[in-house]
A and B are shown apart, each in its own frame.
Chain A
Amino acid sequence: MTTQAISSPDQARLEGVGPAFDPERLLHVRTLTRQAIQRIAAAIQPGMFEEDAVEMARDLLAEAGMLRGWHDVYVRFGSNTTKTFGAPSDPGVVLGEDDLFFIDIGPVLQDWEGDGGDSFVTGRDPDKARCAADARAIFHEVRHKWLSERATGRALYDYAVSCAAARGWVLNMDLSGHRIADFPHAAIHEGPLAGADFPPSRLLWVLEIHIRHPSEAYGAFFEDLLLEDSYF
């Protein structure tokens, strides 16, 4: 997939924020988002239907006052972990004993957006465990490149592709990062991080890593804000 370049003169405009922007609030929503993902994951068991897990996730988010989201709640099981953002899942997929699933939520609390994703495994399938761990590891490899080299968004995703390939996975470039801000960031910029020909600023961008097996029907996903090591 080719991505249209966004040149650095556009950086100030594309990294704009709305009137309610508040870094501390955004970081607080990030913390709540990561905690919610862990709570949802802990409630998922082999034998569940994916549809039931999504409903359970929405119930948990509603209880936490985090149901409203700038995107839908995604829990993907098994072969549906290869589906790209927004693509409907195949129905009726049951989580197996040696399986993989991921969670992707984007809650909005008052005026502030969260966005987080992570992958989890059941059982002891070493390849699936490695897939989930590698999505996380590639995220941090790419984030370290951002930290150490002030690389552009485009360079980060070029690097992510090579990181994924080096580990034997295929990177899904349809999920290639995006802005985050006070709600809605879509009013500022909906384009991908991978199209940015400037080094993205901290706290304003989400780095997404969605990898899949080159031939088998599973994949893994991890996403979080571009932030320094002390936040992880």
Chain B
Amino acid sequence: MPRTAPPPDQARLQPFRLEALTPLNHEVLRLELSQIDGPPLTYREGQFVTVRLPDGTARSYSPAAACQGDGRLELHIRTLPGGRFSTWLRSDAGRSGALLDIGGPYGDCVWTPPATAGAPLLLLATGTGIAPIRAMLVRHLAGAGRHPVHLYWGGLDQPDLYLSEEFAALAHRHAHFRYTPVLAAATEPWRGRRGYVQAAAADDLPRLDGARVIACGSPAMVDAARTLLVAACGLAPDAFHADAFVAQGAAPMPSGDASLSLEVGLPQAPARRLAAPPGGTVLNTLAAAGLLQGVCGGQAACGTCRIGIAPAWRAALPPPGRKEARLLAALGSGPEQRLACQICLEAPLDGLRIELP
């Protein structure tokens, strides 16, 4: 979804090429972009990036796909009559092969499960606010089995909900995930919910104490949802997450500063302490320092980034997912070994000590 752009930061801009432009409905376009050079942009699903047009205009959008660390971005852009980006996209310049500068990532509206086991995670979206929600679901839904996850996506009419079939398929596959489309002005026969997403959610989930809510979309929806769900459903005010600037109108402070540290034990050299951007992987940091280079692009496929975890830190790491665990087993790994490409550096891992083989 379009946002107020943060101040341009030349140092963070990276050149991307527009690879494909695909209509998703009558007004939303899917942009597929690939990074031309520089270390691949990485982001946490739910964060946003700033796109700078050749004329200097900046617009911000949340990637709609899970971060693969391969320099590819998928953005969903609602075109508006007279909008600068919309006009550019419709011009001869805005075609496949065009170059754009992209900065970021920014923001901290990311997947945050409820602290209470079994409490629901409620996702609310309107329009292209679905993009960061989709990225989060792709990344986290399969591993979120301890919590029921409810998605309410609102639009005026059926064509607005351009990913409905995808979410319905996800709901079919994941018993803990429920998808509810909500239309405010359905013109065709519609047997689904009518009205607004926050009202539909409040009706279905009248008790939200212990729950968390992530809302992405129009400022009106975000404001109304916060007010309603706190007042009527017992939601704790600090359990409501939204892009702060959406509701407050202020540009967010860029995140991604190198505020974490990683201690690296080397086989025949003194240990090194590396600055590590939060949200990136251990492999990102090791590669930036020239200490380790993966081959498969962070897919937990090649095993070249297998590292040791210092004993004191093993319990702090989330257990390996199925893909990582299967490869570690295939490689005959010990319990101290993990794949650097699968360890996301967050604040609790500040100071993590690892050992390179």
Contact = CB atoms under 8 A, between A and B. Distances in A.
B331 interface: yes
A49 B68 CA distance: 21
Interface string B53-74: 0000000000001101010100
A160 interface: no
B296 A58 contact: no
A104 to B, nearest CB: 12
B162 to A, nearest CB: 12
16 contacts: A1-B97, A55-B322, A58-B326, A62-B330, A67-B330, A68-B331, A71-B301, A71-B302, A72-B299, A73-B301, A87-B72, A92-B173, A93-B169, A106-B301, A108-B302, A186-B295
B169 A72 contact: no
B113 interface: no
Nearest to A69: B301
Interface string A18-50: 000000000000000000000000000000010
A88 interface: yes
> What 5 pairs across the A-B complex have the smallest Cβ distances?
A92-B169, A72-B299, A67-B330, A69-B301, A72-B301
Chain A's interface: helix, strand, loop or mixed, by majority? Answer: loop
Interface string A56-69: 00110010010111
B304 interface: yes
B303 interface: yes
Contacts, number: 69
B208 to A, nearest CB: 27
Contacts of A88: 65-66, 68, 138
Given A58-B323, A86-B70, A92 B301 contact: no
Nearest to B65: A88
A90 B331 CA distance: 30
B66 A184 contact: no
A183 B302 CA distance: 10
B151 to A, nearest CB: 13
A124 B322 CA distance: 36
Band of interface residues on A: 20 to 34
Band of interface residues on B: 20 to 34
B287 to A, nearest CB: 13
Interface string A172-194: 00000000000110100000000
Contact of B296 (A55, A72, A91): A72
A184 B326 contact: no
A24 to B, nearest CB: 23
B133 to A, nearest CB: 13
B303 A68 contact: yes
Given A92-B166, A184-B304, A86 B327 contact: no
A93 B331 CA distance: 31
A184 B97 CA distance: 30
A97 B170 CA distance: 20
Contacts of B8: none
Interface string B244-269: 00000000000000000000000000
B297 interface: yes
Interface string B324-335: 001101110000
Nearest to B67: A88
Nearest to B141: A91
B299 A91 contact: no
Contacts of A14: none
Contacts of B173: 49, 51, 92
B67 to A, nearest CB: 9
